[in-house]
A and B are shown apart, each in its own frame.
Chain A
């Protein structure tokens, strides 16, 4: 299996950024995005991320793939938030008639609810796409090195970056299993009926989890056998250094964040 499934090689502007800058970007976005209170700011941030994707030199189908992956959770979040969020301006009358005890009168969709749902989903989309942009453009060992240079112990840094890589790793593995099942005429995942698909998930998850645990064991053995966990300071064949472009990016990002917060509050 491809343990580097998340990384896509390239020489674009985002690829060449110092990993520390990218880690800082992820940290800042994690703090700022949830603070955004207006839909138009969230949309502007999403557009900024999309623009960054477009100028990153990556094929756009990669972003398309991630969007496809996210559409389910986005749709779910939108519907749930729209229904549950309280508001004054009703657009759709309560789904549950008032005569029903306890939950009667609930489930109306209001203007405020729609706006809030839009805010939540656009924020999530912007944050997720930004994270994916970073992981796709950063080879895992540079990520680790970045965290180490930021002061983390190597083993902790390695664990964190491996965890980051878990999603693409599991995705690749899941695709493999589904392909194998499809080859044996198992078609539950192609059915329209979501219930039928739900019922098929144990058949995917069981081999996925067992396989992942087996591979993790093997990988741990392989790593230990090559001196992972040696005492003393570890060295690296690659080095990272902050260059002018990195500082320019840091400056621009800071300005951008300040502007966002200024408009927001």
Chain B
């Protein structure tokens, strides 16, 4: 994958963040320090309940403004301290797509779903309709304006949720397990839309997921969260070849990486560590050719 150039100015700066849910004894997140740049595609991996959702909701101020609890440290998003501004204000900067395709859609028509956000911002009707058309086109749902959201497929529902977030024109899009309830076709739909947003529109993507095959293809950087702590970060290559880390954080790497790790354990090392099928194919051919 060609490495992307990122702007020098950091877009999200997290400093010494620890967070406890209301009435909880243990920290859901602890000792978090992190910088994310504009245009990055960041994947968050970790077990169920490791703190991935908490991290996602930290970025748009749902935590702590809506959920309460105890937040130490600071979260700066696009120059705004999430503890100083309302969730509604942050919604212009950070869009979020949740795991449950149904609970986050609550209107009777696709067009109203997408318009809900810009309407809340009090934009002119013409501007709202322009944004709705644009957002539906980006996610490939144009022509479905009058469909009731419950009648859409899983992949379409999540694309609609993305469109609804996009209509706010956010600079950052957070996807919290947004493909975990989708079949392979729906997953592919969502990932290709997200990649397009990242590449063509320079939207920063932060995505928590379990689907390492897709992460390997699209992500610039992986964050590994384990028991509320950021225990590692790096490129997909770096993360997926660290067998000790994978075991500790209970992350399943792409199958080709698993194969490469197995071969390495038996002293067969590929020239380039594979994370995609193409790389694995090349590596195996080279192994056979005795390079």
Q: A and B from one assembly?
A: yes
B:102-136 near A, CB below 8 Å: 102-109, 111-112, 115-125, 128-129, 132
Is B150 in contact with A2, judged by CB distance below 8 angstroms?
A: yes
Would A230 and B100 be within 8 Å (CB), given that A7-B108, A223-B106 are in contact?
no
What's the nearest-Cβ distance from chain B to residue A166, in Å?
A: 13
| A1 interface contact, C-beta 8 A | yes
What's the nearest-Cβ distance from chain B to residue A253, in Å?
A: 26
| A210 interface contact, C-beta 8 A | no
**When A and B form their complex, what is the total count of cross-chain residue pairs whose Cβ atoms lie within 8 Å?**
118
| A207 interface contact, C-beta 8 A | no
Q: Which of B105, B121, B125 contacts A227 (CB 8 A)?
A: B121
| A226 interface contact, C-beta 8 A | yes
Per the CB 8 Å criterion, the residue count for chain B at the interface is 45
- For A232, the chain B residues whose CB sits under 8 A away are 121-122
| A222 interface contact, C-beta 8 A | yes
Would A224 and B91 be within 8 Å (CB), given that A9-B148, A230-B121, A235-B123 are in contact?
yes
Bound Cα distance A222, B157 (Å)? 14
| B272 interface contact, C-beta 8 A | no
| B16 interface contact, C-beta 8 A | no
| CB nearest neighbor in B for A232 | B122
Is A227 in contact with B117, judged by CB distance below 8 angstroms?
A: yes
Bound Cα distance A235, B88 (Å)? 15
Would A234 and B122 be within 8 Å (CB), given that A3-B106, A218-B103 are in contact?
yes
Is B122 in contact with A4, judged by CB distance below 8 angstroms?
A: no
Bound Cα distance A222, B57 (Å)? 11
Bound Cα distance A218, B111 (Å)? 21
Bound Cα distance A1, B115 (Å)? 21
| A209 interface contact, C-beta 8 A | no
What's the nearest-Cβ distance from chain A to residue B1, in Å?
A: 30
| A231 interface contact, C-beta 8 A | yes
| A130 interface contact, C-beta 8 A | no
What's the nearest-Cβ distance from chain A to residue B244, in Å?
A: 36
- For A219, the chain B residues whose CB sits under 8 A away are 103-104, 106
- For A238, the chain B residues whose CB sits under 8 A away are 112
Interface size for chain A: under 10, 10 to 19, 20 to 34, or 35 or more residues? Answer: 20 to 34
| B77 interface contact, C-beta 8 A | no
| CB nearest neighbor in B for A227 | B120
Bound Cα distance A231, B132 (Å)? 21
Is A225 in contact with B60, judged by CB distance below 8 angstroms?
A: yes
Contact string, B83-98, partner A, CB cutoff 8 A, digits 1/0?
A: 0001111011011101
The residues of A with any CB-CB pair to B shorter than 8 Å are 1-4, 7, 9, 139-141, 214-215, 218-238
Q: Which of B104, B124, B129 contacts A218 (CB 8 A)?
A: B104
Is A140 in contact with B91, judged by CB distance below 8 angstroms?
A: no
Extra A-B contacts (17), CB below 8 Å, given A218-B104, A222-B104: A1-B103, A1-B150, A2-B148, A4-B148, A140-B107, A221-B62, A222-B96, A223-B116, A224-B88, A225-B95, A227-B120, A229-B87, A229-B88, A230-B121, A236-B125, A237-B119, A237-B129
What's the nearest-Cβ distance from chain B to residue A185, in Å?
A: 27
| B66 interface contact, C-beta 8 A | yes
Q: Which of A4, A215, A223, A228 contacts B150 (CB 8 A)?
A: A4
Bound Cα distance A203, B45 (Å)? 36
- For B96, the chain A residues whose CB sits under 8 A away are 222, 225
Is A228 in contact with B148, judged by CB distance below 8 angstroms?
A: no
Is B88 in contact with A227, judged by CB distance below 8 angstroms?
A: yes
- For A221, the chain B residues whose CB sits under 8 A away are 57, 62, 66, 98, 104
16 A-B pairs with CB atoms under 8 Å apart are A3-B105, A4-B108, A4-B148, A7-B108, A141-B108, A215-B100, A222-B105, A223-B116, A224-B62, A225-B94, A225-B95, A226-B164, A230-B88, A230-B121, A234-B119, A238-B112
What's the nearest-Cβ distance from chain A to residue B236, in Å?
A: 28
Q: Which of A139, A220, A226, A233 contacts B117 (CB 8 A)?
A: A226
Bound Cα distance A7, B109 (Å)? 11
What's the nearest-Cβ distance from chain A to residue B41, in Å?
A: 20
| B165 interface contact, C-beta 8 A | yes
Bound Cα distance A221, B106 (Å)? 12
Would A227 and B62 be within 8 Å (CB), given that A218-B100, A232-B122 are in contact?
no
Bound Cα distance A52, B40 (Å)? 58
What's the nearest-Cβ distance from chain A to residue B85, in Å?
A: 11
Bound Cα distance A4, B110 (Å)? 12
| B168 interface contact, C-beta 8 A | yes
What's the nearest-Cβ distance from chain A to residue B95, in Å?
A: 7
Is A230 in contact with B120, judged by CB distance below 8 angstroms?
A: yes
